[in-house]
């Protein structure tokens, strides 16, 4: 049985890095060559169509059928010039990836001859056979079929010989069945809410765009080893495996020199990414062995998210050329760091100002503080919603598990900014301020850019950290679609800004100046959201206790966290603002419960299978060897010598018997629990049952298996070990 493992190791040892050649000396020569961007549109579209698309992108105007036909013609001409034969509507269903169905351009012409065609109708809307995508009961009836619709704001691109058109996926009754549609809604929601608030400071601000810069962490595993691990193949993580004697203790991987084979892989997928217009910029080794990170220059959030989905797909494909598999799972290996996808988030105005970056004078700084404090307040009020948006079966091993940060949402601001907020609380009073008081406050606020300039404190343990000119939502899981986190964050902040505007206006009506009113509301917010601010070590036991005292929530159970999508506060952010209809949100929550259940179900099956069919037989083989050995000793040694010598072996045989018995017993019990859970119809109840009854067996079974791994003859152990998975390639 161990043959596969040793063959795999031999293969790994013989591998050489693949040569990767840059298509041209300068990246700018081929950057975006596979994207139908503004320049190509200008070239391939007639004036009217080009203007139409520009207006649609910049001003949100609609594109009529005639114009769509013109765009389609130009798009096809460009695509065909690049050797494209097919097109697809590319969308983000509520699964872990993207979906596409390719259709050829070919059609029969009027004379029965073959022609290539692509019409506006096909560009604008399509009806994929959508019945197999998760919808949470929204598409149960025949009427509620789904269709995809062109997202003009994200440019079409080419993968291989297929033209991909980014689309939203909605049901015929209007419910969103994907991640993109609600993301777009929250982006325009926050645009409107932020512009209204900006009007207090600058009448020229008419547009606010959300920026997203994601940092994608991942592991690389050699494909031969991967193939010898059914758990990796089927679940994306190892369900067993004793820790390697050396893993990340010495911090020798982080920012170390990139191993050659991994480096070749990175260069290769980066070239592909450049061609697709994805501005990847940063690459480095991460903390755990074989763990890496890639990050682009930030972009408008919808485009950034498309690019993240695209690059994950790209990385998986390019990895194969290098005999690697890339793991996006949040916790592929127990005991070492898991992978996240930090979402760097900020707001940018049409006047070129980053609202989360301190300005140069008291006025722009008051604007900065307004947005900063509102975000903090939004996070405080919506901690459960934000957690619900990121806590999945995979990410639960990263958050709240033994070796990871707890499932508590907190905000880090850094000591200097904290001082500024304290000062506001201290100096702003609820009555009209004297001119002297105003000047003092203005002076204080005016100093912010100087103090932030050397604000180097970074807190890597905070789930939501301010990093100088943006917030970094660090708790997002590596395999997630960023949209889930962004939808909740945008909606929460937008709802908060809308409230803020109302409260400030009320005070202005009472006769206070605008600045006074703003400062007063900010003061209230700073005080009422103080509990969410935490500057210390977010991984410590002390923080768990402290957070509890503060009344912050700490939810480790995935279904319990999902259920928060439907509590009052979440509905305020998601339903009252119009992002979702009640029915839509409920459907989505059902999908989340079901996803969780299915993931645990699959893992339970794989674990049971590996335990009974791989591990137990191996243990018994070795046990028999020991038994033979003991019997042989008994034959040749006199009784007294035998007794002295065989003790240790007999203890080992006993230990193995006990562990094998436990494994068999636990697996049997786990299967029984699954049977009970599977009979439950209600998706929520079922998820809770899987969580509380099935999941607890994972650790118990694994514990016994990992102990056996330490005892059983290395020569016959079937599964590549952690030290091999993590250190050989």
Point out which residues bind ligand ADP (CB under 6 A). Answer: 211, 213, 215, 282, 295-298, 344-346, 354, 469-470
Specify whether the CB–CB gap between 341 and 332 falls below 8 A.
Answer: no
Given ligand ADP, Mg ion, none, residue 608, with its beta carbon under 5 to 8 Å by kind, binds none
Specify whether the CB–CB gap between 420 and 442 falls below 8 A.
Answer: no
Q: Whole-number minimum distance, CB 293 to Mg ion, in Å?
A: 5
Given Mg ion, ligand ADP, none, residue 298, with its beta carbon under 5 to 8 Å by kind, binds ligand ADP
For 593, the token pair is 């419960």
Q: Whole-number minimum distance, CB 38 to ligand ADP, in Å?
A: 21
Beta strands in 500-646 (DSSP E): none
Whole-angstrom distance, CA of residue 442 vs CA of residue 365: 9
Q: Which is nearer to ligand ADP, 135 or 462 (CB)?
A: 462
Given ligand ADP, Mg ion, none, residue 387, with its beta carbon under 5 to 8 Å by kind, binds none
Q: Which is nearer to Mg ion, 215 or 299 (CB)?
A: 215
For 142, the token pair is 């025949």
Q: Give the closest residue to 523 by CA, choosing from 412, 366, 379, 411.
A: 366
Whole-angstrom distance, CA of residue 4 vs CA of residue 657: 26
Q: Which is nearer to Mg ion, 14 or 257 (CB)?
A: 257
Q: Which is nearer to ligand ADP, 136 or 213 (CB)?
A: 213
Start-to-end C-alpha separation, the chain = 22
Q: Whole-number minimum distance, CB 284 to ligand ADP, in Å?
A: 8
Q: What separation in angstroms does the CA of 597 have from each of 69, 594, 682?
A: 44, 5, 11
Q: Which is nearer to Mg ion, 215 or 384 (CB)?
A: 215
Given Mg ion, ligand ADP, none, residue 346, with its beta carbon under 5 to 8 Å by kind, binds ligand ADP
Specify whether the CB–CB gap between 311 and 269 falls below 8 A.
Answer: yes
For 8, the token pair is 């795999």
Question: What residues between 516 and 545 interact with Mg ion by CB under 5 A?
Answer: none
Q: Which is nearer to Mg ion, 215 or 231 (CB)?
A: 215
Specify whether the CB–CB gap between 483 and 490 falls below 8 A.
Answer: no
Q: Whole-number minimum distance, CB 344 to ligand ADP, in Å?
A: 3
For 595, the token pair is 């996803």
**Closest residue to bound Mg ion by CB:** 215
Given ligand ADP, Mg ion, none, residue 285, with its beta carbon under 5 to 8 Å by kind, binds none
The structure tokens 């000062």 sit at 423
The site that binds Mg ion (CB under 5 A) totals a number of residues, namely: 1
Given Mg ion, ligand ADP, none, residue 226, with its beta carbon under 5 to 8 Å by kind, binds none
Residues in contact with Mg ion, shown as a per-residue x/- string from 241 to 260 under the rule CB under 5 A: --------------------
- Asked if 217 interacts with Mg ion (CB under 5 A), we say no
Q: Whole-number minimum distance, CB 358 to ligand ADP, in Å?
A: 12
**Closest residue to bound ligand ADP by CB:** 213
Cα–chain center distance at 456: 26
The structure tokens 């890597």 sit at 460
HEC states along 474-494?
A: CCCECCCCHHHHHHHHHHHHH
Q: Whole-number minimum distance, CB 364 to ligand ADP, in Å?
A: 15
HEC states along 665-720?
A: HHHHHHHHHHHHHHCCCCHHHHHHHHHHHHCHHHHHHHHHHHHHHHHCCHHHCCCC
Q: Which is nearer to ligand ADP, 282 or 657 (CB)?
A: 282
User: Dihedral through CA 685, CA 690, CA 694, CA 696, nearest 10?
Assistant: -100
Q: Which is nearer to Mg ion, 287 or 428 (CB)?
A: 287
Q: Which is nearer to ligand ADP, 344 or 488 (CB)?
A: 344
- Asked if 215 interacts with Mg ion (CB under 5 A), we say yes
Q: Which is nearer to Mg ion, 215 or 706 (CB)?
A: 215
Given Mg ion, ligand ADP, none, residue 657, with its beta carbon under 5 to 8 Å by kind, binds none
Q: Which is nearer to ligand ADP, 308 or 496 (CB)?
A: 308
Whole-angstrom distance, CA of residue 206 vs CA of residue 348: 11
Specify whether the CB–CB gap between 295 and 280 falls below 8 A.
Answer: yes
Q: Which is nearer to ligand ADP, 118 or 274 (CB)?
A: 274
Whole-angstrom distance, CA of residue 436 vs CA of residue 519: 15
Q: Whole-number minimum distance, CB 538 to ligand ADP, in Å?
A: 16
Given Mg ion, ligand ADP, none, residue 296, with its beta carbon under 5 to 8 Å by kind, binds ligand ADP
Whole-angstrom distance, CA of residue 273 vs CA of residue 729: 24
Burial profile 478-491: b = 16 or more Cβ within 10 angstroms, e = fewer: bbbbbbbbbbbbbb
Q: Whole-number minimum distance, CB 352 to ligand ADP, in Å?
A: 12
Whole-angstrom distance, CA of residue 716 vs CA of residue 2: 5
Q: Which stretch binds Mg ion (CB under 5 A): 47-55, 209-217, 553-561, 687-695?
A: 209-217
Cα–chain center distance at 7: 35
Q: Whole-number minimum distance, CB 264 to ligand ADP, in Å?
A: 21
Angle 308-309-311 from CA coordinates, rounded to 5°: 65
Q: Which stretch binds Mg ion (CB under 5 A): 210-218, 244-252, 601-609, 660-668?
A: 210-218
For 230, the token pair is 């059914």
Q: Whole-number minimum distance, CB 490 to ligand ADP, in Å?
A: 13
Q: Whole-number minimum distance, CB 345 to ligand ADP, in Å?
A: 6
For 476, the token pair is 């997002």
**Secondary structure (DSSP) of 279-300:** -EEEEEE-SSTTEEEEEE--EE
- Asked if 286 interacts with Mg ion (CB under 5 A), we say no
Given ligand ADP, Mg ion, none, residue 343, with its beta carbon under 5 to 8 Å by kind, binds none
Q: Whole-number minimum distance, CB 508 to Mg ion, in Å?
A: 42
Whole-angstrom distance, CA of residue 429 vs CA of residue 114: 78
Q: Are strands 464-466 and 125-126 parallel, antiparallel or unpaired?
A: unpaired
Contacting residues for 561 by C-beta, under 8 A, at least 6 apart: 384, 387, 388, 391, 407, 555
Angle 256-286-325 from CA coordinates, rounded to 5°: 110
Q: Whole-number minimum distance, CB 215 to Mg ion, in Å?
A: 4
Q: Which is nearer to ligand ADP, 210 or 392 (CB)?
A: 210
Q: Which stretch binds Mg ion (CB under 5 A): 205-213, 214-222, 246-254, 685-693?
A: 214-222
Q: Whole-number minimum distance, CB 217 to ligand ADP, in Å?
A: 10
Q: Whole-number minimum distance, CB 283 to ligand ADP, in Å?
A: 9
Given Mg ion, ligand ADP, none, residue 344, with its beta carbon under 5 to 8 Å by kind, binds ligand ADP
Q: Which is nearer to ligand ADP, 346 or 481 (CB)?
A: 346
Q: Which is nearer to ligand ADP, 307 or 721 (CB)?
A: 307
Q: Whole-number minimum distance, CB 486 to ligand ADP, in Å?
A: 11
Q: Which is nearer to ligand ADP, 539 or 637 (CB)?
A: 539
Q: What residues make contact with Mg ion under the rule CB under 5 A?
A: 215
């Amino acid at each position: 049985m161990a043959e596969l493992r040793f063959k795999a190791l031999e293969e790994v040892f013989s591998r050489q890095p693949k040569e990767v050649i840059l298509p041209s000396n300068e990246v700018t020569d081929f950057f975006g060559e596979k994207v139908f961007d503004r320049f190509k549109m200008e070239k391939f579209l007639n004036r009217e169509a080009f203007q139409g698309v520009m207006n649609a992108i910049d001003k949100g105007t609609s594109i009529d059928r005639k114009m769509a036909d013109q765009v389609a013609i130009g798009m096809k001409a460009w695509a065909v010039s690049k050797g494209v034969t097919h097109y697809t509507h590319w969308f983000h269903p509520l699964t872990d990836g993207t979906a596409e169905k390719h259709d050829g351009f070919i059609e029969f012409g009027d004379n029965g001859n073959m022609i290539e065609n692509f019409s506006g109708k096909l560009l604008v809307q399509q009806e994929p056979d959508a019945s197999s995508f998760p919808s949470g009961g929204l598409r149960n009836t025949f009427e509620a079929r789904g269709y995809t619709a062109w997202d003009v704001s994200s440019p079409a691109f080419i993968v291989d010989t297929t033209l991909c058109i980014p689309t939203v996926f909605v049901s015929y009754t209007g419910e969103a069945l994907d991640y993109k549609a609600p993301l777009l809604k929250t982006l325009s929601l926050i645009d409107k809410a932020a512009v209204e608030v900006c009007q207090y400071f600058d009448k020229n601000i008419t547009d606010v765009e959300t920026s997203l810069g994601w940092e994608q962490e991942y592991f690389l595993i050699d494909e031969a080893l991967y193939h010898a691990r059914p758990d990796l193949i089927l679940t994306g993580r190892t369900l067993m495996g004793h820790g390697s004697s050396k893993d990340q203790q010495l911090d020798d991987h982080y920012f170390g020199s990139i191993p050659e084979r991994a480096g070749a892989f990175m260069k290769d997928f980066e070239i592909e990414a450049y061609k697709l217009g994805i501005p990847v910029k940063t690459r480095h080794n991460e903390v755990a062995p074989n763990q890496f990170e890639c990050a682009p220059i930030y972009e408008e959030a919808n485009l950034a998210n498309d690019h993240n989905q695209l690059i994950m797909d790209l990385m998986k494909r390019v990895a194969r050329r290098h005999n690697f598999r890339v793991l996006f799972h949040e916790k592929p290996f127990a005991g070492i760091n898991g992978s996240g996808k930090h979402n760097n988030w900020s707001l940018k105005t049409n006047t070129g100002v980053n609202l989360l970056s301190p300005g140069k004078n008291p006025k722009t700084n008051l604007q900065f503080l307004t947005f900063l404090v509102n975000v903090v307040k939004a996070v405080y009020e919506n901690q459960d919603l934000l957690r619900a948006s990121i806590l999945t079966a995979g990410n639960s091993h990263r958050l709240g598990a033994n070796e990871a940060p707890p499932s508590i949402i907190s905000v880090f601001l850094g000591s200097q900014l904290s001082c500024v907020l304290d000062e506001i609380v201290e100096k702003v009073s609820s009555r009209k301020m004297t001119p002297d008081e105003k000047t003092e406050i203005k002076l204080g606020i005016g100093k912010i850019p100087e103090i932030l300039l050397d604000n180097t404190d970074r807190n890597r343990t905070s789930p939501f950290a301010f990093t100088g000119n943006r917030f970094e939502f660090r708790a997002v899981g590596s395999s997630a679609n960023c949209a889930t986190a962004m939808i909740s964050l945008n909606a929460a902040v937008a709802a908060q800004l809308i409230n803020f505007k109302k409260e400030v206006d009320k005070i202005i009506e009472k006769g206070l100046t605008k600045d006074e009113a703003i400062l007063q509301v900010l003061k209230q917010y700073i005080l009422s959201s103080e509990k969410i601010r935490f500057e210390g070590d977010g991984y410590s036991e002390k923080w768990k206790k402290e957070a509890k005292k503060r009344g912050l929530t700490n939810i480790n159970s995935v279904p319990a966290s999902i259920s928060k999508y439907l509590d009052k506060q979440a509905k305020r952010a998601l339903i009252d603002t119009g992002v979702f209809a009640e029915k839509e949100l409920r459907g989505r929550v059902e999908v989340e419960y079901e996803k969780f259940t299915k993931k645990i179900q699959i893992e339970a099956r794989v674990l049971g299978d590996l335990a009974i069919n791989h591990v137990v037989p191996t243990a018994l083989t070795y046990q028999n060897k020991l038994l033979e050995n003991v019997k042989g000793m008994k034959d040749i040694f006199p009784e007294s010598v035998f007794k002295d010598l065989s003790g240790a072996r007999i203890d080992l045989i006993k230990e193995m018997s006990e562990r094998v018995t436990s494994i068999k017993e636990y697996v049997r019990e786990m299967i029984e629990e699954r049977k009970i859970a599977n009979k439950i119809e209600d998706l929520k109840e079922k998820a809770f049952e899987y969580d509380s009854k099935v999941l607890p067996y994972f650790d118990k079974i694994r514990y016994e298996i990992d102990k056996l791994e330490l005892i059983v003859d290395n020569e016959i152990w079937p599964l590549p070990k952690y030290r091999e998975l993590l250190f050989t390639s």
